[in-house]
Amino acid sequence: MYSENDVVLYGTQGVCTVCEIVKKKFGEKELDYYLLRPVFDKNSTIFAPCNGPATVTKMRGLMPKTEIVEMIKEVSSKACVWIDDTGERRRIFSEILHSGDSKKILSLAKSIAKRREELHSKGKNLSGFDERFLKEAEKVTFEEIAVSLDIEPANVLSFIKSYSADKHKQQRAVN
């Protein structure tokens, strides 16, 4: 169970602060709810049932700085994967986004961003749903990275790219 002022990742809503635990009656039963405030959207409020199965699977503490850096290094070193079949891609992307697995979500964002670069070089654009998946994947992972590393969300992409650039420099030095 989380306490007041804990910072958590809540599904695709992103990083939230547990403001308080309140009793609320939505429907027939009165239950305990976490009152969550998204860190980067102070105007939003989320009520998540404390013992609800969806809350248990959607909510977790943030990864520590060392795990974040290791995740970035690992994802930066892996090749991108693209699924050509639109229906299959939509299904798999949705599963990944709702899995809560930051490493998979960051890999997804990397693959979609790479695909966007390839298409832009040919004068084409990503489909609307691919853009939405990219924005959602970046929102969730970039918020967690920003809060864990105490940097601004706008600086996360350059932070991630620095690991990729360092890796390429090391490879060139070896060759």
In sequence order, which ranges of the chain are alpha helices (DSSP H)?
53-58, 65-77, 86-99, 102-121, 128-149, 156-174
- What average pLDDT is seen over the chain? 90
pLDDT in tens, 129-149: 999 999 999 999 999 999 999
- pLDDT value, residue 51: 87
User: What are the sequence ranges of the domains in the chain?
Assistant: 7-61, 65-174
Task: Give the closest residue to 74 by CA, choosing from 163, 154, 140.
Answer: 163
Instruction: Name residue 17's beta-bridge partners.
Output: 7, 37
Question: Where do we find the tokens 């992103």?
Answer: 14
User: Mean pLDDT, to the nearest integer, of 56-65?
Assistant: 91
How buried is residue 60: exposed, middle or buried, by Cβ count under 10 Å (0-12/13-18/19+)? middle
User: Mean pLDDT, to the nearest integer, of 54-83?
Assistant: 91
Classify domain 65-174 by CATH architecture.
Up-down Bundle (1.20)
Alpha-carbon distance values, 157 to 56, 67, 161 (Å) = 29, 17, 6
- pLDDT value, residue 166: 52
Residue 171: pLDDT over 50: no
- pLDDT value, residue 149: 94
Residue 154: pLDDT over 60: yes
User: Angle of helix 65-77 relative to helix 156-174, nearest 10 degrees?
Assistant: 50
User: Mean pLDDT, to the nearest integer, of 106-127?
Assistant: 96
Residue 165: pLDDT over 80: no
- pLDDT value, residue 134: 97
Same fold, 7-61 and 65-174: no
Instruction: Assess if CATH 3.30.70 describes domain 7-61.
Output: no
